[in-house]
Structure 1
């Protein structure tokens, strides 16, 4: 692993990493997060019985929008022309909703931050839409699951 710090300039101040000379290649990242809630909240989400509307549809759109706006939220992220963003939901049929975001690009830098941001905003949207009935929801375990492309190659969380 290269220990050279690329996010600092000659004055040791933060800078955006220069990717000008990097080759454009396929990059993909998948991240995951969970939202723990009451059994009733999960049942109402799945049954479409939340007063604010279709929680999963709204959260999915919010996650996609967040991935596209990551460079506006995280100062050193590059603006990327994403080629794909997908948000999937699974649950344990008891009290946990799992969110998985996959982001793809043909670019000079990776999309890990976009996938992680998509997960977080998707989870926050679920919280926002359900907080009136379950203020105790907990967003947890947001992490990178897999990434493909770039100098560091293929990564899969063990």
Structure 2
């Protein structure tokens, strides 16, 4: 179930103008090259689940969406700030406007308030990258089958 949600999110992320790479979970690389960026990766950030009612499971899971734009070592601050802001705005519009976004293509019941931490330095595979992260809370309810 979680893998399906992540892969659905990555499919949606590939639609964002400017994204170069947004692979399915099973194809996440151990390292990145600048030509693969902007690169998007989604993973589980935490959650809880319980039996909400007799025969009904409720799963609340938060997903983190990491967007890596360029290695810090490239030092292209001005143009990077501009392109990062445009990309963050593109993700904002995607999550506000996409017709199936509240269910992530039907994989969850709903999404909660989406947040971001702005442009920051993020280490991935031992390399410092400029990028940003989105936090997306979701709710899924499943009927328990005997």
Whether TM-score is above 0.5 comes out as no
More strand by share: 2
| Range class of TM-score, shorter chain | 0.3 to 0.5
What is the TM-score normalised by the length of structure 2?
0.40
What is the TM-score normalised by the length of structure 1?
0.38
Computing the radius of gyration over CA atoms, which structure comes out larger, 1 or 2?
1
